[in-house]
């Protein structure tokens, strides 16, 4: 890399750190500049998962930074260092049957109708996972599974409450496997996507495609398998998929919010299959682990976090790790807005109200309270509220949850999306706007939300903020 390229890169990073710290990662240092040609700045990225992340989410902001740093119009393109590796990641991210189908022959190459392909996050790798008493077993087993695919702990089943690192560990297994065994066929998918694919294949009469896709892998990872609850037909199909893979020594990794026997309405034979491998529970992190996690997250974002600040936050937020991250984001946001460095006073100012609010009745309702009251009011199941069904009987209640959370809590759009089945912030924003606009014209909806707000207020929190 030439010295002008290096200089350009440093200026770009300085710009990004100042204006868009949320996308900055410590490994940006490993990206190299392959030169500028005809207004195109090519940046080389070695890791396929990082490459995918940059291509997917960072092009506009890097382009903005490059233009500001160089004073010229230019576009950024992220490229892999070798074509093989890039192909692996694409193969990984797309339904496996597309590639395998062509090898097997006789199968159409039309991809299945999947609107949600779960992509890997470069942040969710073993290196970024902090180990403590609450997750030690799950972490050790995940590592073991990765090194001996299909030969130890099969299936490997992780369970624990929301925000404790299940998805992080599942994705770490995929990323490590991708790195150690580039030829392995990996399928990482959410349970909802699995169910959608199944229903779609039943509908269009392409079950052979479905089976080819799910039974032709070396590692099948399904996140949030508890959504299989009460889905008899899908459970039946999954049972056969499971057996086929298991009998041929292929690895299965699953996560759930409850232990196998505690998932409501899950067939007994599935419960016993899930219990036949290793079941590892993740518990809430202890104080020391919370401090380490805060420090690790700060480092990942190139953020200076003094010991007393980490201790202050860790002592006050003990629910889950997503909340810890939210606190860090708030502190960083306040520091940016005020143009100050992060110290204890600033952290107190940033979290003051919110810290008391966490787990407290007096300031904001908890997300669980909102979800429970909406589920009860509209008589919908919690799994539907958090799931993927788009029937209008669940879409509106789901949007109302987002609207209430936006109005009556301090969670960010992203956090609200996280609570509602992992939806992204644009979905939440859309929901908030829809409910705001509709409740102005539709008296019934207005009455609904007023009722719900009354119910929440009776649990005693202070005045709402305006949703945007």
Shortest spacing between CB 223 and Mg ion, in angstroms: 6
Residue closer to Mg ion (CB basis): 167 or 177: 167
Q: Where do contacts with ligand ADP occur on this chain (CB under 6 A)?
A: 123-124, 128-130, 135, 160, 162-168, 293, 296, 321-322, 325
Question: Minimum distance from CB of 422 to Mg ion (Å)?
Answer: 7
Among 167, 172, 289, 383, binds Mg ion (CB under 5 A): 167
Minimum CB separation from ligand ADP for residue 53, in Å? 14
Residue 322 C-beta: closest distance to ligand ADP, Å? 4
- Contact mark string toward Mg ion, 119..158, x via CB under 5 A: ----------------------------------------
All residues at 6 or more sequence positions from 90 whose CB lies less than 8 Å from its CB, including other chains: none
* Closest alpha carbon to 189 in 238, 131, 134, 136: 238
Q: What part of residues 308-367 is at the interface with Mg ion (CB under 5 A)?
A: none
Output the DSSP codes for 349-415. Answer: HHHHHHHHHTT-SSS---HHHHHHHHHHHHT--HHHHHS----HHHHHHHHHHHHHHHHHS---HHH
Q: CA of 391: how far to CAs of 116, 196, 394, 397, in Å? A: 17, 13, 6, 11
The site partner of 162 among Mg ion, ligand ADP, none (C-beta below 5 to 8 Å per kind) is ligand ADP
Nearer to Mg ion, 194 or 312 (CB): 194
**Residue 165 binds what, of ligand ADP, Mg ion, none (CB under 5 to 8 Å, by partner type)?**
ligand ADP
The entry of Mg ion, ligand ADP, none near residue 135 (CB within 5 to 8 angstroms by kind) is ligand ADP
User: Partners of 44 in the beta sheet?
Assistant: 32, 79
- Cα gap 404→431, rounded to integer Å: 10
Residue sitting closest to ligand ADP (CB): 165
Q: What is the CA radius of gyration of the chain?
A: 23
Is residue 252 within 8 Å of 145, Cβ to Cβ? no
Q: Single out the segment in contact with Mg ion by CB under 5 A; choices: 108-116, 162-170, 235-243, 308-316.
A: 162-170
Q: How far apart are CA 323 and CA 265, in angstroms?
A: 30
CB of 410 to ligand ADP, least distance (A): 18
Q: Which does 129 bind (CB under 5 to 8 A by kind): Mg ion, ligand ADP, none?
A: ligand ADP
Q: Which does 92 bind (CB under 5 to 8 A by kind): ligand ADP, Mg ion, none?
A: none
DSSP labels, 237-295: HHHHHHHHHHHTT-EEEEEESS-GGGSTT--HHHHHHHHTSEEEEE----HHHHHHHHH
> Could you tell me the smallest distance in angstroms from the CB atom of residue 167 to Mg ion?
3
CB of 130 to ligand ADP, least distance (A): 4
Q: How many helices (H) and strands (E) does the chain have?
A: 21, 8
| Whole-angstrom distance, CA of residue 175 vs CA of residue 139 | 14
User: For residues 64 and 283, which CB has a smaller minimum distance to ligand ADP in the complex?
Assistant: 283
- Contact residues for Mg ion (CB under 5 A)? 166-167
């Amino acid at each position: 890399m030439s010295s002008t390229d290096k200089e350009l890169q440093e200026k770009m990073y300085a710009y990004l750190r100042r204006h868009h710290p949320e996308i900055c990662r410590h490994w940006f240092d490993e990206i190299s500049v392959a030169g500028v040609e005809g207004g195109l700045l090519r940046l080389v990225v070695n890791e396929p998962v990082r490459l995918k992340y940059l291509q997917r989410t960072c092009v506009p902001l890097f382009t903005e930074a490059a233009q500001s740093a160089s004073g010229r119009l230019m576009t950024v393109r992220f490229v892999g260092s070798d074509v093989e590796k890039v192909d692996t990641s694409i193969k990984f991210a797309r339904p496996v049957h597309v590639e395998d189908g062509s090898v097997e022959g006789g199968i159409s190459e039309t991809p299945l109708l999947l609107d949600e392909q779960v992509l890997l996050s470069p942040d969710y790798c073993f290196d970024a996972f902090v180990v403590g008493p609450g997750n030690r077993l799950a972490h050790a087993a995940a590592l073991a599974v990765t090194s001996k695919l299909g030969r130890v702990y099969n299936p490997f089943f992780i369970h624990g409450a929301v925000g404790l690192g299940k998805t992080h560990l599942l994705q770490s297994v995929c990323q490590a496997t991708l790195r150690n065994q580039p030829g392995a066929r990996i399928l990482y998918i959410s349970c909802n996507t699995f169910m959608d694919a199944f229903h779609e294949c039943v509908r269009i009469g392409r079950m052979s495609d479905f089976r080819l896709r799910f039974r032709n892998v070396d590692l099948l990872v399904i996140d949030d398998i508890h959504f299989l609850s009460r889905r008899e037909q899908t459970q039946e199909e999954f049972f056969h998929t499971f057996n086929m893979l298991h009998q041929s020594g292929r690895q299965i990794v699953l996560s759930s919010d409850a232990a196998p026997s505690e998932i409501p309405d899950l067939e007994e034979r599935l419960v016993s299959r899930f219990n036949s491998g290793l079941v590892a529970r993740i518990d809430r992190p202890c104080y020391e682990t919370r401090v380490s996690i805060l420090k690790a997250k700060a480092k990942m974002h190139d953020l200076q976090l003094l010991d007393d600040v980490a201790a202050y936050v860790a002592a006050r937020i003990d629910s889950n790790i997503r909340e810890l991250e939210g606190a860090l984001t708030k502190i960083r946001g306040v520091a940016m807005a005020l143009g100050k460095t992060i110290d204890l006073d600033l952290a107190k100012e940033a979290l003051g109200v919110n810290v008391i609010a966490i787990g407290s009745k007096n300031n904001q309702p908890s997300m669980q309270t909102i979800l429970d009251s909406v589920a009860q009011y509209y008589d919908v199941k919690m799994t539907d509220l958090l799931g993927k069904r788009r029937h209008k009987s669940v879409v509106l209640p789901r949007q109302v949850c987002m609207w209430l959370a936006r109005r009556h809590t301090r969670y960010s759009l992203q956090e609200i999306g996280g609570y509602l089945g992992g939806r992204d912030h644009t979905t939440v924003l859309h929901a908030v706007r829809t409910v705001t606009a509709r409740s102005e014209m539709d008296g019934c909806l207005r009455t609904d939300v007023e009722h719900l707000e009354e119910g929440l207020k009776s649990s005693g929190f202070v005045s709402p903020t305006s949703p945007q």
